[in-house]
Each structure stands twice: as structure tokens, then as C-alpha cells.
Structure 1
């Protein structure tokens, strides 16, 4: 759009931070997609490797050295593996841009990802803290499978998403550094950064959704897919316990971090009580479920597996809403 009068703010300075770890098969394509952005102004690009044991960093280095464009490239290799959250915290320290684009070492950013995100940033009537989009899902051969939209595509308040286990697609996320200025580093190192940062943005009324796929998001690889593989051939009890344990271990650190973050915003006592209650009940219900697996299994045999699934879904819904 050429009518500058519709813009509510100037374009921010930009950092694209590429998070890489043992992704030698995909990293070159990921790096090149960042260097091929059509955004005209200079971008700070940080290729950061979390102490990979393969050739990931060597490939990033080769790509960086062969680049002759207007953007600046910073190479970083962590001396020890920091893990996802440690790496995200480091991105805040190393980057200089106001708006930080997250890029994974196995994903592909479309050429107009930055330009369209900045356009949405400038057009937003609210002050953007997080801008996120839909994605194209691709397989290990980079073949597009379908378009995937995030769980929340409408206006999102902190109250709506405070207990949610899915908010945005982290692979297509750009956040403002003010999030870290306000809340500090993420302290819960077992949490997922998108569930933390998106909620922080909701607390600041700054979640902005861009309804267009801007990233090719590789599926069937990575941490979450490894959980699926681990469960593929498990027996009923072991799989059930693993699934429940996975959800519990994922959400407990997320809720703990959300509690800390909410406590830093004045006037959010209701949210604090809601999170505290959810943490306490999640712990109780998880332990109860594990101890009483045989009881739920007997229900499955007597009423049928499908009805059993509906029963479990209904039970969890009541539990999460605080009725149990």
C-alpha cells in the first residue's frame, strides 16, 4: 500500500534470528530463504547454532561468507547446548532489532515474509507485540502438503488464552523486544517459547494475526514429532501414560511461567488466581489419572473405545474448567 497516512507507526529495525541445532540436511535452504527476503531496508541476520554435533554450523558459515547483499550477518555458535529456551533468551541479548523474527533451521521463510509482516505491523491499530501467520506444511523433501492455521486467528485477550496449550505457530512468529524488556528472560527452561511469548503479548494486548502463509513449516521432524514416534508402537497403558505425561510436562512449566509473567502486570488478580488453580488441579488430576489407569481402562472395555475417548475428553474439559 502506498498511502502512508494509513500507517500508525514507522517501520521497526529488524533482526532475523535463525535457531539451528543438528539440521545439516535442511540448514542451507533455511539460510538462503532468509537471505532472499525482498525487504529493501537492511536487516540484521543472526545465524545461531546451539552447539550442533553435525555440519550445521559449517554450512551456515559457508552461506554467510558467500553472501554479498545489503544485510549484515552475524555468526554464532554456542559453546554448550543451551536448549530451546536458553537459545531464545540468548536471541534477545545478541539481537539489536526492535522486531525479532524467529526462523528454525529446518523451515523456509517465503521471500515476502518480512515485508508483509512489517506492513501488518505498521497498519495495526493496536501496538503489536507479536505478529504471527499461518504456514505451509512441508515434508522432509520440502513438498507442500497443506496450509495450517494457528488455533487463534481472531482478536485474543489474555483471559481467552490464559490456560491454552496452543496459541500460535512459533515457526511464523515475530516478536517485539519490549516483551523481554517488560517481563525479562523466560525462567522455565522446559516451557515452549511460543506459548510463553504469545501469552505475554496477549497480556500487553499486542497479538496480531496475519492471515497468509509466510513460512514453509517442516513437519514429521523435530521435538514434537519425536514424541509421536516414541508412542507409535506402545501398548495401550504405556501410550496413555506417555500422552498424559507429555501434556503434563509441557503445560506445567508454561503455566508456571505465565503465573510469573502475569504477576508483573498490575490489575490481573483474576488471571493469577485462575492460573494458580489450574496448576494445582493439573497436578492433582494428573496424579489421580496415573494411579487410576486400570479404572479408566475397564470403562474402555465396557462402553467401547470411542465412547471412552469422549468420556476422557469430557473429563478433561471439566477438569480444566475447574469443575472437578
Structure 2
């Protein structure tokens, strides 16, 4: 089990205790803090103090923040087992999670390279609100993935370690590893879904929508998210080349890559008005609405900033999050 933690001091103890309570045995549990600025690492140490159970526990801390993709890659390289169970520091694994995932993998002859299980939607206090069902992945292919991405949450995944043996570590910069690892699996042994809720998925993590108070904050958030998108797209292309699928995947991702490159160019703080206009005119393969919006954000801030501030002031806070979970 790879328990990756960052900035989760208030809840990480629950995640650690859930890992230690796994009924599958023996299990190697790597608990790693990605250079959190708060007391996350100290809370991890407190939660494991005095543990005398059957699992082999490693507690570690990075000297610098690596980010999600590089952090999980680091842990995958350190792990000894064949099956890697992903866990996040703000979620809670059910005690039987490891046992059920291993049984599911063995029943499929260890062929799938990714297993996704369903989730329990919990609020900040830990109260369960619903069961969240993953897309059924057993019949998914690379071609289908290129047409539309399935709904899935990386915090409930398990991966075969051979994915890292074949593709190597994920490059630094991607904020989410779920689709990266799914495409890797589809390029290899395939993926499967275990329709049992084995993770209590806490609201307020990366999937939570954040209120944007002004244009400067919005632009910074867009730039950060777009850098992650570019990193993930580059990872897809790199992985495709390893499997001799470059032409197919490059063609399918062309429009996504064009949008991301356009967004990066327009949000570049060093870009002049002339360069921005040339980028706008030259990006004919990017939707006009996005082109106009980014042109306005960067070249007409006096118009857009008041509108965004007004929207933030009157915005209703009870709305679905980025995973489309309904407001509580």
C-alpha cells in the first residue's frame, strides 16, 4: 500500500490507522509525506507509534515537494510487492480493501494492470452520503479511451508494479495520476473494476472546487492547471512511444494538446500584446470561445476583473464539486 500524504494534518491519522487495520497480511505499507508545510508528518509518526501488527511499515518524508505523479512513482520504485494499492492521506481505506483487491486480481490471473474499486462519499466529518460507482473498465480499450475518458478516482486504484517496470516513473508535474495510469494499463494488460466501495473518499481534496476571488487568482490557477495538463499529455505521448502507438495517440490528442499549448502561450506573463494577438490568430484549431476568453483575461483585465469579483461575491457556495458530487 502506497499512502501518499501532503498537507493533511487534520485527517491523516485516520488514513494511517485505516492502513494499519488492513486484514490482508502480510502487507508492506509505505507511508510518505511529500514535504508538507504543516504537521502532517508529525501526525503520521503519532499514528504509527507503538504499532506491533503483522504489516511491514515504512514511514518517510521527502526533503522537497515532488507533487502527486512523482511522489507515487517514487513510492512504486521503493515498493517490493507485485500489486500496489494507492491511498491518499485524506481518505480512509476499508479494512478489507487489500484483501478484496488481491482476491480480485488473482481471480483474473494477475492479468489486469489496474483495478478500480467504488467509493463511499464522505464529508469533512466522515459521514457517509452515497456510494460512488466507477465506470466499468473491463471492456475498455485504448481506442475507446481516446474517444472519451471514463470516470474514475485514482485514490481507489491498485496498479501492477510491472507498469513501472515497463514505462518507468511518471514525470514530475501532473496533478493527477489516474488517467496516466489507466492509459498505461490499457496499453498493457488492461484494467478492471471491482464494484465494491472500498475507500471512504473525503470531500475537500483536489476534486473540490475553489472560489476564485479575482482575475489574478483565476489566471494563476489556470496556468497551474494547464501546466499539469501539458505534463499529463506529454506523459501519454511518451508512454505511447514505448508501445509503438505514437501515431494513433498523437493524432487523437492533437486538439487537447493544441488547447493546452494555446493556453500556456496566452498566460505567459512575458508575452507581449503583439505575440498574444499572433497566437490568437494562429490558433485556428482551438475553439473560438476559449481563444476569446483567454485573450480577454490577458489583454482586457480592466473589463474582466470586476466581473469575476462580482461573480465570486454572489456565487452560491453549495454546488457540485469537480467530481460532480452533489452539494450537501
**TM-score, normalisation: structure 1:** 0.75
- Matched residue SS, 1:61: helix
Of the three residues 291, 295, 299, the one matched with 1:291 is: 295
Counterpart-to-counterpart distance in 2, 1:202 and 1:153: 10
Which residues in structure 2 correspond to 1:1-324 (within 5 Å)? 16-39=1-24, 41-124=25-108, 127-162=111-146, 164=148, 167-219=151-203, 221-225=204-208, 228-231=209-212, 248-267=226-245, 269-280=247-258, 283=262, 284=283, 285=286, 286-287=290-291, 289-291=293-295
- Displacement of 1:269: 3.0
Deviation at 1:267, TM superposition (A): 5.0
Asked whether the equivalents of residues 135 and 152 of structure 2 are also in contact (C-alpha less than 8 Å), the reply is: yes
Contact preservation (8 Å) 1:133, 1:213: yes
TM-superposed deviation, 1:246: 7.2
Aligned CA distance change for structure 1 residues 146 and 153 (closer, same or farther; 3 Å): farther
CA distance in 2, matches of 1:37, 1:63: 15
Q: Which runs of 5+ in 1 are unaligned?
A: 1-15, 295-324
Contact residue 171 and residue 231 of structure 2 kept, 8 A: no
**Are 1:158 and 1:199, in contact at CA under 8 Å, matched by a contact in 2?**
yes
- Aligned 8 A contact 1:33 1:108 in 2: yes
1:47 shift after superposition: 1.1
Between the aligned partners of 2:293 and 2:149, the Cα distance in structure 1 is 19
C-alpha separation between the residues in 2 aligned to 1:259 and 1:289? 28
Please give the alpha-carbon distance, in whole angstroms, between the structure 2 residues aligned to 1:21 and 1:267. Answer: 35
Query: How far apart, CA to CA, are the structure 1 residues paired with 2:63 and 2:130?
Result: 38
After the TM superposition, which of the residue ranges 161-170 and 115-124 deviates more from structure 2? 161-170
- The alpha-carbon distance between structure 1 residues 230 and 166, as it changes in their structure 2 partners (threshold 3 A), is farther
- Three-state SS of the structure 2 residue aligned to 1:269 is helix
Q: Using the TM superposition, give the Cα deviation of residue 244 of structure 1 relative to its aligned residue in structure 2, in angstroms.
A: 6.9
CA distance in 2, matches of 1:23, 1:191: 16
1-side partners of 2:225 and 2:68: how far apart?
18
Match of 1:298 in 2: none
1:97-137 CA distance string (max 9 Å, x none): 11111111110000111111111101126711011111001
Distance in 1 (alpha carbons) for counterparts of 2:127 and 2:250:
44
For 1:62 and 1:56, the matched residues in 2 are separated by 10
> What is the deviation of 1:67?
1.0
Q: Is the 8 Å Cα contact of residues 168 and 198 (structure 1) preserved in structure 2?
A: no
Paired with 1:123 and 1:142, the residues of 2 have a C-alpha distance of 32
For the Cα contact (< 8 Å) 2:83–2:158, is it kept in 1?
A: yes
Q: Could you tell me which residue of structure 2 aligns to residue 308 of structure 1?
A: none
Does the Cα contact within 8 Å between 1:21 and 1:50 map onto a contact in 2? yes
8 Å contact from structure 1 (residues 134, 212) kept in 2: yes
Residues in 2 aligned to 1:52 and 1:251: alpha-carbon distance in whole angstroms? 23
**Structure 2: tracts of 5 or more residues without a match:** 263-282, 301-328
Q: Secondary structure of the equivalent of 1:66?
A: coil
